[in-house]
Structure 1
Amino acid sequence: MSNLIAGEKIVKSFNIGKEQTTILDQVSVEIEREEFVVIMGPSGCGKTTLLFSLSGTDDITSGSIKFDGQEISGLKENQLADMRRQKFGFIFQQPTMLKNLSILDNIILPVVTDNRKNLADVTKKAEQLMKKTGISGLGDREITKVSGGQLQRAGICRALMSSPAILFADEPTGALNSKSADEIMLLLEAINQEGTAILLVTHDAKVAARADRVLFMKDGKILSELAFTEKGAKSFEDRTGEVLEQMAIIGV
């Protein structure tokens, strides 16, 4: 594997009156190609801000962020938008879907507006992704006529439409029941094994145990990390236990 994203001494701060609040405090992090990395930490520790910063969605105060060797923190907004649309995929706790569009139309919407894309090809790819993620046949459904797990699968399909190098996922299982959460994580594992890197924010040790590496944040800093170099060498329960132990050590 080789380096895909590199953040060095990232600072994110803002002023409230005369007081300065620092959300990210000299954070350095690297994500390798095809790697599955999880960020954990208490609410307000900066984990989602770090994810948004590394994806070019949120500005940083100082530091450096590179994607595939290219500095992104100095790019113009239209250049960042092109990079996010073409190279990155995003999955959120609550998929943002348009109520007046069907599941299929919501999936293809971000790419069908690109004049270089053929509608028939885009639709075919969306249908292939829907079959792959287990929601084949739901394309004509309204978004209010499917379960939360099915809607999240549709969100994953949408995120994969541009064949991104990396998926940025913010609490993708946070609104799901345990069965649906397990199914989504198995799906993300399979996507990662096919070559797509994943950077995922969660508070759930069972979710983190599926990653290659877990970063533990507190008060705007990465305090420690836990790497599972050979996940198959340890049971899922053992990996979950290690995550919980590390959380207890740093008080997360």
Structure 2
Amino acid sequence: MVLIIFFTSLAGNALMICLIHWDHRLHMPMYFLLSQLSLLDMLLISTMIPKMAADYLTGKKSTSFIGCGLQIFFFLTLGGGECFLLAAMSYDCYVAVCHPLKYSVLMSWPLCLRMTLGSWLLGAADGLMQAVATLTFPFCGRREIYHFFCEAPTVLHLACDNTSLFEYLMYICCVLMLLFRFALILTSYGLILATVLCMPSTDAHQKAIATCSSHLAVVSLHYGTVIFMYVRPKTYKTTNYDKAVSAFYSILTPHAEHPHLQSEE
């Protein structure tokens, strides 16, 4: 079942990227951001599923120390980059709905490229910081994690040293980063909703809803599960719930289309 989801996700996102690349009518910042989201989704699901499937089929359920560190780095880099990119897409949706006649000015190609590059770089900085900090702790005794891939909170449970300070700092960092970006997204969609309610045309309502509803659904699922995983107090965390939530936001989170709104005067 997981392999079916994996290949379906790869095929769907690859088709999306190829379609945007081949169709010159889709060479716009809005669809470029969507292609980057599809690329992040492809890479994110590829950081864990192939290794998990190989371990399951061969019976070898182990990974090297370096391999575990690389998996933490790539997972956090791609997951963090996707969070930043979703925030950029919410701004794009706000401009498309609230200022359609100024779209080419407020959402120019240089700004789009800077937001995309910034998403990748900020995600990489977050992944590198957490991967290096996690693996600098000493590990002793049984080195087994009750998980299907190396995730930073699960690996920290194996540390022999006191990790409470690091976990507290990461908790504060996740709260500030996730909730701040989520607040920006909610603000964008609040302004969009206010604009939609003022539109006299029913067709305009439908176009605005079609432009943003699928993206907002992905944002809610992605941020909701990530916040549940990383922002919960430690006393409320259980291993089985963590595995289920990790599987949800890393494998099962749907990848929705972000359609373009054709504005009318």
**TM-score normalised by structure 2 residue count:** 0.25
Larger radius of gyration: 2
Which one has the bigger strand percentage? Answer: 1
Which one has the bigger helix percentage? Answer: 2
**TM-score normalised by structure 1 residue count:** 0.26
Greater relative contact order (Cα < 8 A, sep 6+):
1
